[in-house]
Structure 1
């Protein structure tokens, strides 16, 4: 039976569909942040390969988000959303059966495609369904669900990794994924997008994949292979050479993968830049602190998962507040305030990280990081989506999501590189050994210094993000 799209209940039914998709895809990221040492140990992965257990998903998810945002505008959001959630669910089952690390990495890339389809369609589906006057409330709840996913992710990952085994980090997705597919197929039956039917930008897709892949390869391997390694230099060269070519093609294309003309409007441009920097600054905090508590404090994955809860608890508490404030005040003010709050949290973490740091201060710092991010996300997203032509909302949201994911993947690669760069090569793998890490007492200070340097990089990105958010201009300038 088709759902009546004119019903006042329909927007909330759509929100229930997208919430389940967001919950699953973001849980997947949070669970592995904590379970990474257990998975790496099972497959006897060295430091280089362990990096790619996380980065393979992030890289492909980032590129696919932009691609599928474009495809959603062309062929309709409902169909792609159901396909994406189906792929994500099936591959989650297969990952737990992976016979070796290479099969796991390939399956993670395919899983990333499914997750990208879900994420890139979530905000456009909500924007299409909600009236503008209540859109901020719907987006705020969506961020709240995302916060819940991130809140539960480390705990769920730590629990399964410590008890039932690493396979259940992925297998728990399956029953909920099946439920989500059935619910989406029923609820979104009357929600087919008209689409734009414009040509698909093949060259743009290829260029952005190899350019982004190049910089991630260089960052992830630089500290282990050396910055003069041919592989690292090749990755940097790919990024430096292909990025301007990509931008030139996108600027002149009639149907670009990334509509760079949006950056000609200051309000849009700065909102996108701020989204990237917020993601860059926040994303690595949970990963860094989870590894820190396992490596330095020798906590179990489950205990480390509990220790990083303040980040997502902050997001959980502030998300409803952000939705309310976003409908009353200009995004420039609220988003900038959120970034400033996150910056204070990161600064606290820089000071307290160390063998003798008090957890209460670390918890306060992590809470502020999460609270500030929640305060930033809803108004910043609403400021982008409410003034976009409905036929191009998938592309606009795909660009926003891609930049946020790009911030996440670059942040992860850079922070892991900074943490391990100061360690002797023989000890770099200890970062991924979790609570079984065996560091000589004389080398612990090197690891602590690495964590602090990585957090300083997050703080610098936050400060730049505040400046970008403040100069976006007043709402009337949009």
Structure 2
């Protein structure tokens, strides 16, 4: 029994190392994208695709690999995901130019998708029910620790080492994680007999997510009246309808539509979607304000934004542990209340140090408290045969929520600010006058007000499911 506990804990550590590798790498690339563009002479039109390419591949494929994990087992997918990500990292490091780097970032995105798709389902397979929450909390801690460390490690690399080390520095984490997982991952969940993989449904769903993610990304950059963006939205609607029709007729659907009749599953996922729409607005807007209003350097901005993932990483394992002792829904409510109060302060106060830093800390605490029990609610709400889909759904909601946040925040800013002035702030090409800065502050506060109400909507969803019996399947 003791040896099984040690093996399970080591496996959890290995899985956490692997996801820390992914979050650390992705955030470093995101933060240091301008430096990569300068080093490789990447055109401004292509620069954003260093990040978009990886996220696009992950968004389109993660549900597919979640389903494959349910059908074929999660162990092999863990191996393949880590190895693919490591290969992608090496290829990125030896890229001769920007276009090749973007292509190899797709390989990294594929590895991330394969690895993360079943990540939150594995603790349910290997730990007893009374330890599920703390296991999920530890994995979430690793994610946020990677996010918190990335700006500093990335800044050190670009200042003192070659840019290629941004991709190479994570290799030891992946190699150690692969070794630990290989030695400790012995138990596999029971596979579903005689079920075939829904290839047609998977392809249609990939097109649906591809068009959705790309329309959200491009709409924020080139405008929502752009013909390409309009076409992508049209493709999204049509492909989504076709996907639903395919799944209804399929004997072995990729996503069992009946799963959405499960109130705990649906409300938990939609609450998470709204949650990620709100939280990403802080990461998006505060750096713009600090640079334009106070002349903060990149490192100084990183130190301010660092406060949120730091406290998210601290409180994620705590909330995971508490979710094993108390009702997950109550803990989610506490996290959302703290986050909502943070948005209320951000919407009413001038963002001035040091009081503003305290608000960011509270926002980080709220996020850390909410995430782990929310994921546990999603995973707990389904049968063992659907855990991969549930796990990948939580990640997809995060990706879509964060992508939507940029589009929603920009659109809300545009309701108050002239487009040319807004574009100057977003592109960091302005030294604003006091009146211009005040207009941006007023617009930013308006965005945070709206995010407060979106957070309240998420809170209502969680409160609704508070009255839903946990046994509702």
The one of 362, 373, 378 equivalent to 1:384 is 378
User: 1:81-96 residue pairs with structure 2 within 5 A?
Assistant: 81-96=78-93
CA distance in 2, matches of 1:82, 1:272: 27
In the alignment, which residue of structure 1 is the partner of 2:22? 25
CA separation of 1:430 and 1:377: change in aligned 2, threshold 3 A: closer
> 8 Å contact 1:46–1:429 — kept in the other structure?
no
Cα distance, 1:417 vs. partner? 6.4
In the alignment, which residue of structure 1 is the partner of 2:332? 335
CA separation of 1:186 and 1:343: change in aligned 2, threshold 3 A: same
CA separation of 1:475 and 1:375: change in aligned 2, threshold 3 A: farther
In the alignment, which residue of structure 2 is the partner of 1:463? 456
CA distance in 1, matches of 2:149, 2:130: 31
CA separation of 1:18 and 1:217: change in aligned 2, threshold 3 A: same
> 8 Å contact 1:43–1:101 — kept in the other structure?
yes
The one of 143, 155, 174 equivalent to 1:146 is 143
Cα distance, 1:311 vs. partner? 0.7
Cα distance, 1:187 vs. partner? 2.1
The one of 301, 318, 339 equivalent to 2:298 is 301
CA distance in 1, matches of 2:358, 2:30: 20
CA distance in 2, matches of 1:284, 1:57: 21
3-state SS, counterpart of residue 196 of structure 1: coil
Q: Does 1:10 align with 2:7?
A: yes
CA distance in 1, matches of 2:99, 2:204: 25
CA separation of 1:427 and 1:372: change in aligned 2, threshold 3 A: closer
CA distance in 2, matches of 1:416, 1:169: 30
The one of 365, 371, 374 equivalent to 2:365 is 371
User: 1:12-91 residue pairs with structure 2 within 5 A?
Assistant: 12-43=9-40, 49-91=46-88
CA separation of 1:327 and 1:193: change in aligned 2, threshold 3 A: closer
CA distance in 1, matches of 2:451, 2:54: 21
Provide, for residues 305-324 of structure 1, a one-character-per-residue CA deviation record: whole Å limited to 9, x for no partner: 21111111221232233123
User: 1:140-219 residue pairs with structure 2 within 5 A?
Assistant: 140-188=137-185, 190-196=186-192, 198-219=195-216
In the alignment, which residue of structure 1 is the partner of 2:124? 127
**Structure 2-normalised TM-score?**
0.88
The one of 443, 465, 474 equivalent to 2:468 is 474
> 8 Å contact 2:328–2:373 — kept in the other structure?
yes
CA separation of 1:365 and 1:375: change in aligned 2, threshold 3 A: same
> 8 Å contact 1:315–1:370 — kept in the other structure?
yes
In the alignment, which residue of structure 2 is the partner of 1:310? 307
- In the alignment, structure 2 segments of 5+ residues that lack a partner are none
User: 1:412-423 residue pairs with structure 2 within 5 A?
Assistant: 412-415=406-409, 422=417
Which of 27-36 and 170-179 deviates more? Answer: 27-36
> 8 Å contact 2:331–2:370 — kept in the other structure?
yes
> 8 Å contact 2:120–2:391 — kept in the other structure?
yes
> 8 Å contact 2:424–2:430 — kept in the other structure?
no
Cα distance, 1:273 vs. partner? 1.0
CA distance in 2, matches of 1:23, 1:223: 29
Provide, for residues 371-405 of structure 1, a one-character-per-residue CA deviation record: whole Å limited to 9, x for no partner: 11221122222222234322321122122222222
3-state SS, counterpart of residue 233 of structure 2: helix
- In the alignment, structure 1 segments of 5+ residues that lack a partner are none
> 8 Å contact 1:294–1:300 — kept in the other structure?
yes
3-state SS, counterpart of residue 22 of structure 1: helix
User: 1:432-451 residue pairs with structure 2 within 5 A?
Assistant: 432=427, 437-441=429-433, 443-445=436-438, 448=441, 451=444
In the alignment, which residue of structure 2 is the partner of 1:396? 390
